Amino acid sequence: VSAALKEGRVTPTELCQRCLSLVKSTKFLNAYVTVAEETALKQAEESEKRYRRGQPLGVLDGIPVAVKDNFNIAGIETTCASNMLKGYISPYNATVVQKLLDQGAVLLGKTNLDEFAMGSGSTDGVFGPVRNPWSYSRQYKEKSVPESHSEDEECNWVITGGSSGGSAAAVASFTCFAALGSDTGGSTRNPAAHCGVVGLKPTYGLISRHGLIPLVNSMDVPGILTRCVDDAAVVLGSLAGHDPKDSTTIQDNFEPFELPSLTDVSKLSIGIPKEYHAPGLSSEILALWSKAADLFKNAGAKVTEVSLPHTRYSIVCYHVLCTAEVASNMARFDGLEYG
């Protein structure tokens, strides 16, 4: 679509308007908490001027994006899907948001999530649960046993996974081309899997957390949700790098890269951790997992079993650290400040 914008086949404003109307028509998904229609159109207008001058800011110029509602955006309400922050209008932009805006991206709005990003279903926010766009797909409808009540249409939907469910649903329903989520214990990857989109959790320290309302300071990262892997690489390229406002970002220089098209996998070595074959894994998942492994093996890659012996301690450690940090970070939301 970026090429299309460049060649003038479609204008940023047209793109923005189409996405906005799609947002409106998919309102039943409850993916968006706030839609910033006016500012989005203004940003699209600015982008259009740049394209006409032949000076787009980059690949992301004019691309509609959505941002999870735990990122601060100046002038827009940031709620984290909680009543504690009701009416809180942030005075500043999160670093990652600023980077997107500097690239000319068009911010459509803030997406729904589990309250304060605590959850894995996007069901626990005060604005209600997010519905998976795939609930309305033909395959799902065929699968589910028809109870032949029309009211059931309303309750017969599936969750998006969480906590960045709104972002995942927004991307999956084509209302935007990329969305920002956050990932602490899978909150970007989980909904990405549920909604069939690409979810990238960058390594901690690669992307600045400044402006991301913290859940677990030592594990949070901003996450990227897109419809294809190359898009994710593009967004990562524009977001990564040291931020003086975040002491936990690494100092080394970051070079944005383009994913090479992989035709020859014979030099690739893939490890399958045996501990991940956990008890309770469904046969369907196991089959898909094996299928993916076989695909690589048959293409000539080296697929071996490896061991990650500390795997079984990970969830316990996570719980201890997570609860401690969350208790600490949430102490400030006493209703007196912030909304």
Partner 1 sequence: VLNRRCVEAAVMTGLALNCSINKKSLFDRKHYFYADLPAGYQITQQRVPIAVNGSLSYSFCTDNKMSQMVTKTVRIKQIQLEQDSGKSLHDDTRSQTLVDLNRAGVGLMEVVMEPDMCCGEEAAAAVRELQLILQTLGSSQAVMAEGQLRVDANVSVHHPGEPYGVRTEVKNINSIRFLAKAVDYEIQRQIEELESGGTVLNETRAFDSKLGCTVPMRDKEGKQDYRFMPEPNLPPLILYDAKSLPANMDHQQVVNIDWIHERLPDLPSVKRAKLVERYGILPEHSFTLLNEDGLAEFFESVVKQTPMKPKKVIGWILNDLLSYLKQHSLTVKESPVSSFLLADLLNLLEKKEISSTAAKQVLAELWKGEGKTPLEIVKEKKLELIQDQKELEQICQAVIDGQENEVIMMVLG
Site string for partner 1, 320-339 (x = CB under 8 A): ----xx-xx-xxx-x-xx--
Report whether 64 contacts 82 (CB < 8 A).
no
Tokens of 174: 């084509």
Active-site annotation holder among 47, 68, 99, 122: 68
The 8-class DSSP code of residue 242 comes to -
According to CB under 8 A, which one of 218, 304, 311, 314 is a site residue for partner 1? 218
The answer to whether the beta carbons of residues 201 and 183 sit under 8 Å apart is: yes
22-51 footprint of partner 1 as x/- string (CB under 8 A): ------------------------------
**Strand ranges, E, within 85-164:** 106-111
* CA torsion angle 214 215 216 219 (round to 10): -80
Segment near partner 1 (CB under 8 A), from 47-55, 114-122, 211-219, 283-291? 211-219
CA angle 145, 141, 25 (to 5 degrees): 140
Residue pair 211/97 in contact (Cβ under 8 Å)? The answer is yes
Candidate segments 139-147, 153-161, 209-217, 277-285, binder of partner 1 by CB under 8 A: 209-217
Q: Which long-range contacts (CB under 8 A, 24 or more apart) does 227-230 make?
A: 227/171, 227/172, 227/177, 227/197, 227/198, 228/198, 229/198, 229/259, 230/258, 230/259
Query: Residue 124, Cα to own-chain centre: how many angstroms?
Result: 17
Minimal distance, residue 333 CB to partner 1, in Å: 9
Q: Which is nearer to partner 1, 79 or 208 (CB)?
A: 208
Q: How far apart are CA 105 and CA 239, in angstroms?
A: 12
Which of 150, 228, 184 minimizes the C-alpha distance to 68?
184
Residue nearer to partner 1 on the CB measure, 91 or 279: 91
For residue 335, the minimal CB distance to partner 1 (Å) is 12
217 binds partner 1 (CB under 8 A): yes
Between 115 and 243, CB nearer to partner 1: 243
- Find the shortest distance in angstroms from Cβ 100 to partner 1: 22
Distance CA(87)–CA(89), nearest Å, equals 6
- Confirm whether 208 is a catalytic residue: no
Provide the token pair at 116: 């304060």
**Which residues, 237 to 296, sit near partner 1 by CB under 8 A?**
244-248
Residue 89 DSSP SS3? strand
Min. distance of Cβ 83 from partner 1 in angstroms? 18
Specify the residue, 194 or 209, whose C-beta has the smaller distance to partner 1: 209
CB of 185 vs partner 1, minimal distance in Å: 15
Q: How far does Cα 24 stand from its chain's mean position?
A: 20
CB–CB of 117/80 below 8 Å? yes
When the beta carbons of 164 and 208 are compared against partner 1, the nearer one is: 208
**Residue 302 sits in the site that holds partner 1 (CB under 8 A):** no
Residue 187 bears catalytic tag: yes
Q: Which is nearer to partner 1, 58 or 205 (CB)?
A: 205
Catalytic, out of 90, 163, 164, 173: 163
The residue type of 331 is A
Closest contact distance (angstroms) between CB of 216 and partner 1 is 8
- Residue 247 annotated among the catalytic residues of the structure: no
Q: One of 122, 167, 187, 208 is an active-site residue; which one? A: 187
Q: Which is nearer to partner 1, 43 or 184 (CB)?
A: 184
Q: Tokens 């940090």 appear where?
A: 325
Whole-number minimum distance, CB 337 to partner 1, in Å?
6
Q: Active-site residue numbers? A: 68, 163, 187
Residues that bind partner 1 (CB under 8 A): 214, 216-218, 244-248, 324-325, 327-328, 330-332, 334, 336-337
